[in-house]
């Protein structure tokens, strides 16, 4: 709740966007304040309180700010505004609507409303007069870009309430009174379609949060087949510059089995963020046939914006994701790149002169990252409906060093590791996910194994392990061939290597520009993996190592033609028939 008598203060010290304020009353950790600078008011957040001094991080440039400036504390944390009209919006880290801002450069101290207060929404009541409700319960719904946007009891409300009145079906603005509820004491509260929630606090408007168990189809074979992520799971994609992190995120966003997509560009370079703004409105959504942007929210905070806003952007994105999860929707949240969020934490920690950890990152970096990742998940709501947030972040390790603190801290928090290989990227093997170093810990969970057996097949995990084993043995054979030469090893080494190449070219590599090969349904993935494993399990007769490569190149070509053909079409079956004839010629 906001203070009736707001605390004020005076600026006494400035170090870039870290400002020390002498206060004349109580202030709280993470409380928001505004610093007066001429006619502008700069938003800032309390990050440390020592005696009568509050250290605040300013979300704007502090150029021109001087000691003696007045500060007013607001009595609440950084909040997001939640309600109909968030989809298709482009926000910054503070949820300012970027499309409402004027000029090429963002003006300091300018804040815009994230919602359209004039638009009318077609409201349909779900709850009825006399119903007992609690935080997160559904009162009604509106149609938001063909998504059932639920109007809920505000998450901040504690206890049980009874609906005294609720409006009928009709068109209303977001600020129109849609319901009145009473608590046990008879106190009435008027509700609208809008509510606010502090971004640093996880929403808990659900009944249960079990371990994720449902496979999330992304359409990316090297993920779904070898190291699947679950609905409500967490994963991260580390990799050097230029290995395809952003492109892979775009592919997952377009193809994954999700209702809502949230892109948090938390400190990415401006030119890469521009690609999101220009490409997403043009991408066709394979799920709906409309534009992908209609079910997408973009939180843009480029690396040339103030560092404090990078931290705000990831929390803003997660909070909006939790809001849509509470509606029973599947949310896919992509953050690009969390390394620059961590760098912002390091800058603020250094300015506070805190004890540094490895590479000068904060000592509690692992805890901060783990707490954030833990907000994703699969939940059962109060009405037994389900919702989920699947979170996949990218990490940009300096120099491609996967042992640096941000990568190591994220590895502890995330369940899926999709490491991008510079060598695979250089040889144009995309997606450049290293099949040997990458892993999915969800495959260890009994509930995931059971779900895979029920929905894919009982022998699926066994087949996945066979494929991984063949790839590992192929890598070992390649190393021996490189050391001893082509004719310095037995023909069996060449055969083992080329069998692993068959898995690589047919299963791991995908053509993002081909309409069919760009996304592969799980049924097709299962069929192709079974077919490839059947081919590499056969024994073949070769007289010279040069025959091995020539034969498997023909096999790979037939498989790739199958990948480019509609599944089970005449063309697909024709290439499958030609493949069988090719295999018979070389059989023992």
Residues found in the chain: 588
Instruction: Return the structure tokens found at 408.
Output: 């190591």
pLDDT digits (tens, 9 = 90+) for 171-182: 999 999 999 999
Residue owning tokens 């994703």? 376
- Confidence at residue 91, expressed as pLDDT on a 0 to 100 scale: 92
Asked whether the predicted pLDDT for residue 588 surpasses 70, the reply is: no
The DSSP call for residue 542 is -
Question: Looking at residues 89-103, what average pLDDT do you find?
Answer: 86
Q: 119: closest CA among 82, 173, 195?
A: 173
Helices (H), 284-437: 307-325, 338-351, 365-373, 405-413, 422-426
Q: Is the dihedral of CA 252, 258, 262, 267 positive or negative?
A: negative
Instruction: List, for residues 456-489, the tens digit of each pLDDT value.
Output: 999 999 999 999 999 999 999 999 999 999 999 9
Q: How would you class 547 by CB atoms within 10 Å of its CB: exposed for 0-12, middle for 13-18, buried for 19 or more?
A: middle
Q: Domain boundaries in the chain?
A: 8-76, 121-193, 221-453, 460-586
**If you average pLDDT over residues 113-120, what whole number do you get?**
95
Is pLDDT above 90 for 2?
A: no
Using CA atoms, how far apart are residues 577 and 572, in angstroms rounded to an integer? Answer: 9
pLDDT value of position 238: 95
Q: What is the mean pLDDT of residues 441-452?
A: 95
**Under CATH, what is the fold of the domain 8-76?**
Elongation Factor Tu (Ef-tu); domain 3 (2.40.30)
Q: Sign of the C-alpha dihedral, residues 421, 422, 424, 430?
A: positive
Helix (H, G, I), strand (E, B), or coil: what is residue 169?
coil
Whole-prediction pTM: 0.95
pLDDT at 1: 44
Place of tokens 């977001």: 174
CA distance 396 to 219: 24
566's tokens = 């509609």
3-state secondary structure of 166: strand
pLDDT in tens, 219-267: 999 999 999 999 999 999 999 988 988 889 888 988 999 999 999 988 7
Per CATH, the number for 221-453 is: 3.40.50.300
DSSP characters for 48-106?
EEETTEEEEEESS--TT--TT-EEEEEEEE-EEEESTT-TT-EE-TT--BGGG--SSSP
Average confidence score pLDDT of the chain: 93
Cα 473 to Cα 468, 479, 496, 499, 587: the distances in Å are 9, 10, 7, 9, 22
**In this predicted model, what pLDDT tens digit does every residue of 25-62 receive, in sequence order?**
999 999 999 999 988 999 999 999 999 999 999 998 89
The pLDDT tens digits for 404-429 are 999 999 999 999 999 999 999 999 99
520-573 residue pLDDT tens = 999 999 999 999 999 999 999 999 999 999 999 999 999 999 999 999 999 999
Task: Please tell me the predicted confidence (pLDDT) of residue 101.
Answer: 80
Q: Are strands 8-15 and 70-77 parallel, antiparallel or unpaired?
A: antiparallel
Structure tokens at 581: 């004839």
Take residue 355 and report the two structure tokens written for it.
């004890």
Please name the fold of domain 460-586.
1.10.1140
Query: Of 154-168, 275-289, 499-513, which range is least confident?
Result: 275-289
pLDDT at 271: 66
CATH number of this structure's domain 121-193: 2.40.50.100
Express each pLDDT in 345-386 by its tens digit: 999 999 999 999 999 999 999 999 999 999 999 999 999 999
- pLDDT (average), residues 317-343: 95
Give the confidence band of 105 by pLDDT, cuts at 50, 70, 90: low
Residue with more model confidence, 80 or 291: 80
């Amino acid at each position: 709740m906001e203070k009736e008598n707001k605390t004020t203060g005076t600026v006494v010290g400035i170090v870039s966007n870290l400002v020390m304020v002498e206060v004349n009353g109580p202030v709280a950790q993470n409380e928001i304040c505004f610093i007066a600078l001429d006619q502008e008011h700069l938003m800032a957040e309390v990050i440390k309180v020592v005696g009568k001094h509050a250290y605040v991080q300013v979300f704007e440039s502090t150029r021109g700010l001087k000691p003696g400036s007045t500060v007013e504390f607001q009595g609440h944390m950084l909040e997001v505004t939640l309600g109909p009209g968030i989809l298709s919006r482009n926000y910054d880290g503070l949820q300012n609507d970027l499309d409402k801002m004027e000029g090429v450069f963002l003006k300091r101290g300018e804040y815009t409303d994230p919602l359209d207060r004039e638009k009318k929404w077609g409201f349909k009541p779900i709850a009825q007069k006399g119903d007992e409700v609690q935080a997160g319960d559904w009162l009604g719904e509106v149609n938001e870009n063909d998504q059932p946007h639920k109007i809920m009891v505000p998450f901040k409300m504690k206890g049980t309430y009874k609906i005294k009145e609720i409006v009928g079906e009709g068109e209303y603005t977001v600020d129109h009174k849609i319901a009145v509820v009473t608590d046990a004491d008879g106190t009435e509260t008027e509700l609208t379609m809008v509510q606010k929630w502090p971004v640093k606090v996880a929403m808990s408007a659900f009944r249960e949060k079990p371990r994720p168990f449902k496979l999330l189809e992304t359409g990316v074979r090297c993920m779904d087949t070898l190291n699947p992520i679950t609905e409500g799971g967490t994963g991260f994609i580390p990799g050097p510059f230029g290995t395809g992190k952003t492109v892979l995120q775009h592919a997952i966003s377009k193809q994954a089995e999700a209702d809502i997509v949230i892109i948090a560009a938390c400190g990415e370079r401006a030119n890469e963020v521009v690609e999101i703004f220009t490409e997403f409105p043009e991408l066709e959504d394979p799920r709906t046939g409309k534009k992908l942007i209609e079910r997408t929210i973009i939180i843009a905070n480029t690396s040339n914006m103030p560092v404090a806003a990078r931290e705000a952007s990831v929390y803003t994105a997660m909070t909006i994701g939790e809001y849509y999860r509470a509606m029973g929707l599947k949310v896919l949240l992509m953050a690009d790149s969390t390394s620059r969020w961590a760098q912002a934490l390091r800058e603020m920690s250094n300015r506070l002169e805190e004890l540094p950890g490895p590479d000068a990152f904060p000592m509690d970096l692992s805890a901060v990252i783990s707490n954030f990742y833990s907000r994703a998940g699969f939940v059962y709501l109060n009405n037994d409906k389900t919702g989920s947030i699947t979170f996949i972040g990218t990490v940009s390790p300096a120099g491609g060093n996967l042992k640096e603190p941000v990568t190591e801290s994220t590895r502890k928090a995330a369940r899926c590791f999709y490491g991008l290989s510079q060598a695979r990227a250089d040889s144009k093997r995309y997606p450049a996910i290293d099949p040997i170093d990458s892993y999915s810990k969800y495959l260890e969970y009994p509930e995931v194994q059971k779900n895979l057996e029920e929905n894919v097949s009982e022998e699926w995990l066994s087949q996945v392990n066979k494929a991984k084993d063949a790839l590992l043995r192929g890598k070992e054979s390649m190393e021996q061939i490189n050391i001893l030469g082509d004719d310095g090893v037995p023909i069996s080494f060449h055969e083992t290597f080329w069998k692993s190449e068959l898995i690589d070219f047919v299963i791991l590599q995908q053509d993002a520009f081909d309409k069919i090969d760009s996304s592969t349904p799980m049924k097709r993935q299962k069929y192709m993996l079974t077919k490839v494993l059947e081919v590499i399990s056969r024994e073949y007769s070769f007289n010279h190592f040069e025959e091995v490569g020539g034969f498997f190149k023909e096999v790979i070509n037939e498989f790739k033609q199958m990948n480019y053909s509609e599944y089970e079409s005449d063309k697909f079956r024709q290439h499958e028939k030609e493949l069988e004839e090719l295999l018979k010629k070389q059989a023992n």
